[in-house]
Structure 1
Amino acid sequence: MMTPQTILQTKFGYDTFRNGQAKVIDNVLDHQNVLAIMPTGGGKSLCYQIPALMMDGITLVISPLISLMKDQVDALNENGIPATFINSSLEYDEVEERFEMARQQQIKLLYVSPERLDSGYFNQLAQLPVSLVAIDEAHCISQWGHDFRPSYLKLTDIIKQLPTEPTIIALTATATPKVANDIMDRLNLVDEVKTGFSRPNLSFKVVKDQNSDQFLVDYLTVNHEQSGIIYASTRKEVERLTLMLKRHHIKSTMYHGGMNRDERRQNQDDFLYDRVPVMVATNAFGMGIDKSNVRFVIHDQVPGSLESYYQEAGRAGRDGLDSEAILLFKLNDVQIQHFFIDQSDMDEQTKQREYDKLQAMTQYANTQQCLQQYILDYFGEKSASCGHCGNCLDDRESQDITVSAQQVLSCVKRMHERFGKSLVAQVLTGSKVKRVMQMRFDELSTYGLMHNRSQKDVSELIDFLTASNYLYADGGQYPILKVAPRGVSVLRGDEQVFRKTAVKVQQALAEDDELFEELRTLRRELAEQQGVPPFVIFSDKTLHDMCAIMPDSLTEMMEVKGIGESKLEKYGEQFLDVIQEFETEE
């Protein structure tokens, strides 16, 4: 008898479900509409792919990205599961042919973009025996989310009109409690399965006060064998960084919305197929990129929200192996994001939300709390310290900065808690700018108390005090600083303030061994022959597992995680040959 467990083993090559997967699958098989909130790499796609194989009819998967559709369909076909996609990259004849395959039930999963649902395809979809609708990246449906898409809003009406009344599963990796409630309401979902946002294999770091170009060159030189993504906020910065890396003989490629489609596709393929290890990109790249062996994600510029940051950083280590997420924090980048919000055509309420999100992002960069814990708090989840982020491993001495903190808090009070960070910093450093003099702030007792420090330095101290809840920022575009209850304790002398100072240098990620490299070479050759990315053949984790088990027969090869019957038949012998040859040489 076919059960979720047997499909997991025979088709996908895994012995056990990850946290939450079995519960979501049971819900779907009981025809319960469900929201699955799982971290990136947490195995969301199996939550609808396994029910799709057990239910009559076909499963309609709504996914916002063309690149993801192709990768997922390739991966399913590699596992012997019939699937296809319909999107704007296809000619009319191809679309018709694929609909015909769906009508004849020659496929089990049909991937469609939300725009296609809305563009006259509905009549054809209504003729299909759709038993399940899976909505990927479901946070796009919520105006509270960080990536709201109007085309997603229409989904609710379209799904309700399908005559087969399919079960609905919505999936996302980044949803605050507010966004989750919004998704549940809009799609009429009855259950929520939330496995936690934690990514234990990711090591988060914030790098400040360093020349970021130099940091990148040093880091990429040390980790030259590893695959990673560098994010920047503007097309211009993406181009500048790519040129800079090429000058230092670091193999990299780039991706942004201003490039033509062919060039973008070529660069994306070079990265996916492991021909080029480093991708420099705007956030136009990566959503739905299923490449599992990304070992690091570096943000060269600050993103606009913690949701965006966590989603983009989460593209590292999808295979569960140790990986790094590094933020290169510069105050100037926060001002660029501020400018983006200022210049946008959003209404005032939406702008206010965006300013608040940017504020939380700035606080993340300045907290000395565990970084993973800070992010999880933001998503409404209580957690212990991770033990391996930059802050948890930070063994630098803490300095008592109580006096400096009192000077800042006192200045905010003396300015009647009516002004923002830059003006407070100007007063403390004794600036003679027109506004300070006009408002006679030069007569305050706190004026010039920090005349020997730069305004940037004082601004960062204010950010640290805000991140540590001594101050809070109230308001949107120009937030006003106010003293928090904890800050009042410091002013009274009831609490001391400590801060770590100097800067730490990064180490190399773990190097891979010889056999792993040989298996990786074979994987790349097979991938080129098949016209699919290497991770579609086997993930890094599967290759590492082969190195650990060292199978000497096809039966033993079945013990390796990620090898199902279909892949064993296709590739088992070739990988066995490499392992046996390696053992002979040893």
Structure 2
Amino acid sequence: MPAIDYKEQLLPNLKKYFGYDSFRPQQEAIISSVLEKKDAIVIMPTGGGKSICYQLPSLLFPKSTLVVSPLIALMKDQVDGCIANGIAAAYFNSSQSTEEQQNILLKISKAELKLLYVAPESMASLEHILNETYISCIAIDEAHCISSWGHDFRPSYQQLGFLKKSMPNTPIIALTATADKATRQDIAEQLGIISAEQFITSFDRKNISLTVRPADGRVDQIISFIEDRPNSSGIIYCLSRKTTEQLVDRLKAKKMNAQAYHAGLSFDERTKVQEDFIFDKTKIVCATVAFGMGIDKSNVRWVIHYNMPKNIEGYYQEIGRAGRDGVAASALLFHSYADVIQLQRFTEGASNQEVQLAKLDRMKQFSEATTCRRKILLSYFGELLAENCGNCDVCKSPPQVFDGTIIAQKILSTIARLNEKEAIGTIIDVLRGAKNAAILEKGLEKVKTYGIGNDISWKDWQHYIIQLINQGYIEIAFQFRNALHLTDFSKNVLFNGAKVSLTKPIVVVETIGNPKEKTKKSSSKGALFQRLKALRHSIALEENIPAYLVFSDATLQEIEQNRPLSDEEFLEINGVGQRKLEVYGDQFIKEIIAFNKEKKSKKADTHKVTYELYQQGLSIDEIAIKRNLKTPTIYSHIAKLYGDGLPINIYDFVTKTEVESVKKAKEVLESPPSLKPYFDYFEEQLDYFKIRLALAILDKKA
């Protein structure tokens, strides 16, 4: 690839094609690495912006980018999204006719496609274009599928090692939402990209509220949960086909819009369920775990696990299908001992049975934990969270804690004295002074900490060790026979006097709270939002694409909040790129104008009420309290009243010096249409309401 100053093109292309003014963490570094033809392994949470990491570089490469993806539905969804953003993309699979496939190959030969999506099973049909004459970059999506250490191993992925051998100068970017250390190493080795830089972004999805409950009465709890969230989209994951169908019957009896999805359905039936969900025709899908991988439906508001998942990677990836737009979402997990037994049976005879059982045990520990859920998730992936999250069931109703520093020191010291080579059972046996064959054969009765915890039961020691794992003081090395390893946090406890809080073994019994009582009221309840949503729905029907591909809920909320009335203002909205402005901008701006006209008379009345209270001598804060409005709203009324010529002592609220400053800013900024450029100009030191008042004065003088 010829040397180009691609960095200057990154932000303009990000805005033009994807509608964003800035990159998310590490995106720019990843994209730069790919454009420099370096291999990369990217671990980024669902909804974190993985696809942009290869889609944006594809726009700057002279030839096509090959994207290996595991599911046809995933490919179709990605291609639809690319086309909606104005990017030339296609997928290649066995469902297409020979003529369609030949047409795609012709476009590749002419460098007319920026992105080509293909499943591993279809690679053989592309052998004539799989060379550096036609391919500039290779992206391996859902890369954890290549590893037997991974939670979703697919043998077809293991053939992909030939790509680096046949195209050694072509950069490979492997992407996944979930991969522990062992899986990341396996991905690098099997793809032949040992020296690839690893980009691991934060796994923290703060907008997802985490709740775990015992399975008693779960159907009634699920019905109550959904009734608290009417008309919202969600997924319920079940272990068996029978459960999905039985649960759908119960939900339909309550007049809920639900469908089942499992391997017992025909391909056409599964496709219809999936498409109905994507197009918002079905609100609830009760599914086995095969549903939802890679589907970029941004407005899924909740995910429920009817049964406990088999590992934390799968759980994390599945809850990540909620709230991809960054708006508040919920994850509810039910667990029971019966789930554990059933999942243990599923592992029997597997080539990596020991790994699967260890990960299942870790999932069980998560379900039974009495410490911050998010800390547990993040520490599992090697990310340490110092503070509790405040957005999980344990944080919202915390158990009683005690100073467990001495207990923690005994555990950590034993792990260290056993050279970080033993699993949890052996650690507890040493602490309790067990005299079983395994201890005596290894000579572990000679360890200095042997028997120092014989006053605490085996089960309670297990409870405390699990808490230390969950809090990030210990990590389990699955690749080394589940040995317990120390972390940087644990060294602070052993050597630097750091204190550790633990909880007594207790049973947590709580009811599921109504999110309406605990979360800030969403602007999605606004009348304009509902009208924008209806407009989006009609456009989606007309174009036969999912509504979220027009605009996400988050983008609609920002449109509602800012109410752009010009192309320039509309383009400032996150999620609005150049193509979407050209295609949809006029319709949405017209809807906003129509809404404003309908509200105009009411606005006149509201300004009049504010003026009457102002004449009575009430302060701005007093008016706001009396009218149950926000102070900035009252200031906007004052600016409008002053502009309309009413006798307002405007300089009571803004100084002449501030007005002069805004005047200079207006000249420098060349009269921008919105207030944000002014706010940025003053480095956030001048309040929005003062800028608004100063502009009212300047406009009246003009």
TM-score band, normalised by shorter chain: 0.7 to 0.9
The one-letter code sitting in structure 1 at the alignment partner of 2:189 is D
Contact 1:231–1:299 (Cα < 8 Å) also in 2? yes
Deviation for aligned residue 1:225: 2.1
Cα offsets for 1:289-341 (capped at 9, x unmatched):
11011111110101110011101111111111111111111221111111111
Report the secondary structure of 2:313's partner residue: helix
Once the two structures are overlaid, the 10-residue window that deviates more, 104-113 or 377-386, is 377-386
1:519 aligns with 2:525: no
1:176 aligns with 2:149: no
Deviation for aligned residue 1:580: 1.9
Distance 1:361 1:62, change over 3 A: same
Distance 1:397 1:8, change over 3 A: closer
Quick one: distance in 2 between partners of 1:18 and 1:41?
11
Distance 1:279 1:4, change over 3 A: same
Structure 2 runs not aligned, ≥5 long: 405-427, 439-454, 485-489, 491-500, 600-702
Q: Which residue of 2 aligns with 1:454?
A: none
1:340 aligns with 2:346: yes
Once the two structures are overlaid, the 10-residue window that deviates more, 503-512 or 330-339, is 503-512
1:105 aligns with 2:104: no
Report the secondary structure of 2:139's partner residue: strand
1:147 aligns with 2:152: yes
Report the secondary structure of 1:336's partner residue: helix
Q: Which residue of 1 aligns with 2:548?
A: 535
1:93 aligns with 2:99: yes
Report the secondary structure of 2:395's partner residue: coil
| Two-structure CA RMSD over aligned residues (Å) | 3.5
1:249 aligns with 2:249: no
Given the alignment, which residue of 251, 261, 268 partners 1:262? 268
> Number of aligned pairs?
530
Once the two structures are overlaid, the 10-residue window that deviates more, 185-194 or 223-232, is 185-194
The one-letter code sitting in structure 2 at the alignment partner of 1:291 is K
Contact 1:103–1:127 (Cα < 8 Å) also in 2? no
Quick one: distance in 2 between partners of 1:526 and 1:417?
70
Contact 1:362–1:463 (Cα < 8 Å) also in 2? no
Given the alignment, which residue of 545, 556, 569 partners 2:582? 569
Cα offsets for 1:349-381 (capped at 9, x unmatched):
x11111001000000011112111101111122
Quick one: distance in 1 between partners of 2:198 and 2:23?
18
Q: What TM-score, normalized by structure 1, do the two folds share?
A: 0.83
The one-letter code sitting in structure 2 at the alignment partner of 1:368 is T
Distance 1:300 1:209, change over 3 A: closer
Distance 1:414 1:54, change over 3 A: closer
Structure showing greater radius of gyration is 2
1:32 aligns with 2:31: no
Q: Structure 1 vs Structure 2: percent identity of aligned residues?
A: 36
1:80 aligns with 2:93: no
Quick one: distance in 1 between partners of 2:234 and 2:322?
7
The one-letter code sitting in structure 2 at the alignment partner of 1:585 is E
Distance 1:520 1:534, change over 3 A: same
Q: Which residue of 1 aligns with 2:301?
A: 295
Quick one: distance in 2 between partners of 1:152 and 1:397?
44
Q: Which residue of 1 aligns with 2:189?
A: 185
Cα offsets for 1:236-268 (capped at 9, x unmatched):
111111111111111111211110111111111
Quick one: distance in 2 between partners of 1:185 and 1:225?
46
Deviation for aligned residue 1:390: 2.5
Deviation for aligned residue 1:547: 0.8
Contact 1:399–1:498 (Cα < 8 Å) also in 2? no
Cα offsets for 1:210-247 (capped at 9, x unmatched):
41001100001110121111100111111111111111
Q: Which residue of 1 aligns with 2:466?
A: 467
Given the alignment, which residue of 378, 387, 392 partners 1:385? 387
Quick one: distance in 1 between partners of 2:78 and 2:477?
43
Cα offsets for 1:505-535 (capped at 9, x unmatched):
2213555322222211111111121111111
Report the secondary structure of 1:468's partner residue: helix
Structure with more of its chain in helix, by fraction: 2
Deviation for aligned residue 1:576: 1.4
Q: Which residue of 2 aligns with 1:355?
A: 357
Deviation for aligned residue 1:499: 3.5
Quick one: distance in 2 between partners of 1:53 and 1:475?
40
Q: Which residue of 2 aligns with 1:504?
A: 511
The one-letter code sitting in structure 2 at the alignment partner of 1:154 is Q
Q: Which residue of 2 aligns with 1:367?
A: 369
* Aligned ranges 1:162-561 → 2 under 5 Å: 162=167, 165-187=169-191, 188=193, 189-208=195-214, 210-342=216-348, 345-347=349-351, 350-395=352-397, 398=400, 464=463, 467-468=466-467, 497=504, 499=506, 501-508=508-515, 510=521, 512-513=524-525, 514-561=527-574
The one-letter code sitting in structure 2 at the alignment partner of 1:181 is Q
Quick one: distance in 1 between partners of 2:203 and 2:230?
30
Contact 2:372–2:395 (Cα < 8 Å) also in 1? no
Distance 1:25 1:418, change over 3 A: same
The one-letter code sitting in structure 2 at the alignment partner of 1:387 is C
Once the two structures are overlaid, the 10-residue window that deviates more, 355-364 or 142-151, is 142-151
Contact 1:200–1:386 (Cα < 8 Å) also in 2? no
Distance 1:314 1:113, change over 3 A: same
Distance 1:284 1:330, change over 3 A: same
Deviation for aligned residue 1:393: 3.0
Q: Which residue of 2 aligns with 1:431?
A: none
Quick one: distance in 2 between partners of 1:417 and 1:230?
44
Deviation for aligned residue 1:12: 1.1
Deviation for aligned residue 1:179: 1.1
Cα offsets for 1:166-220 (capped at 9, x unmatched):
1111111101011112222232142111112111211111112541001100001
Q: Which residue of 1 aligns with 2:70?
A: 64
Quick one: distance in 2 between partners of 1:290 and 1:39?
13
Quick one: distance in 1 between partners of 2:401 and 2:61?
62
Deviation for aligned residue 1:397: 5.5
Quick one: distance in 2 between partners of 1:33 and 1:88?
29
Quick one: distance in 2 between partners of 1:318 and 1:297?
12
Distance 1:463 1:66, change over 3 A: farther
Contact 1:206–1:327 (Cα < 8 Å) also in 2? yes
Q: Which residue of 1 aligns with 2:135?
A: 130
Quick one: distance in 1 between partners of 2:129 and 2:399?
66
Deviation for aligned residue 1:102: 1.2
Quick one: distance in 2 between partners of 1:399 and 1:566?
55
Contact 1:252–1:278 (Cα < 8 Å) also in 2? yes
The one-letter code sitting in structure 1 at the alignment partner of 2:357 is Y
Quick one: distance in 2 between partners of 1:417 and 1:534?
63
The one-letter code sitting in structure 2 at the alignment partner of 1:546 is I
Contact 1:396–1:501 (Cα < 8 Å) also in 2? no
Quick one: distance in 2 between partners of 1:145 and 1:500?
32
Quick one: distance in 2 between partners of 1:27 and 1:4?
13
